[in-house]
Amino acid sequence: MPSRSKHILYALLIIALVVILDQTTKYLIRVSLAPFETITIFPLLNLVHVQNKGAAFGMFRGLGNTFFIVISIIAIVFMIWVIVTNKEHYGIFSLLAGGAVGNLTDRLLFGSVTDFIDVHISRYHWPAFNVADASLTIGILLFVLQMIRKKN
């Protein structure tokens, strides 16, 4: 188990890598594709330029950008507190914080979140998502798996 300063440094590195990868890919989509333009990568994967004003899958967009900014800031502060006080889960919470910071950055700069990964089977599409969303999802799954493993 790394020392407190090392685990905080590792956490910051993970957060920075997630945010850099997220913001770089979103930038490339914004400058390369018009809104709703689609490029097929593989039979089950497209790139598409979507601006999401809501939460996951575009839900709750009627709550407004300010609501999501405030919730994101509260969540990021909580995750940083967990990272600083708990060496055991810093990797997982770093993925969560990186994803939250990536999407918060979009909300602050553009008023919406750029989504671009479109996974589909035939005409059935999963809602478009981005690197920050993937980081959040992976972090949540790892946290749940770790809690299940601890319980057993």
> Pairing relation of β-strands 113-121 and 45-52?
antiparallel
Q: Which of 22, 106, 115, 118 is catalytic?
A: 115
Q: Which of 22, 106, 118, 133 is catalytic?
A: 133
Convert 86-96 to b/e letters by CB count within 10 Å (16 or more is b): ebebbbbbbbb
Number of residues in the chain: 152
- Our answer to whether residue 106 is catalytic in this structure is no
- Our answer to whether residue 133 is catalytic in this structure is yes
Do residues 130 and 25 make contact, with C-beta atoms less than 8 angstroms apart?
yes
Rounded to a whole number of angstroms, the CA Rg of the chain reads: 16
Which DSSP symbol is given to 64?
A: -
Catalytic positions: 115, 133
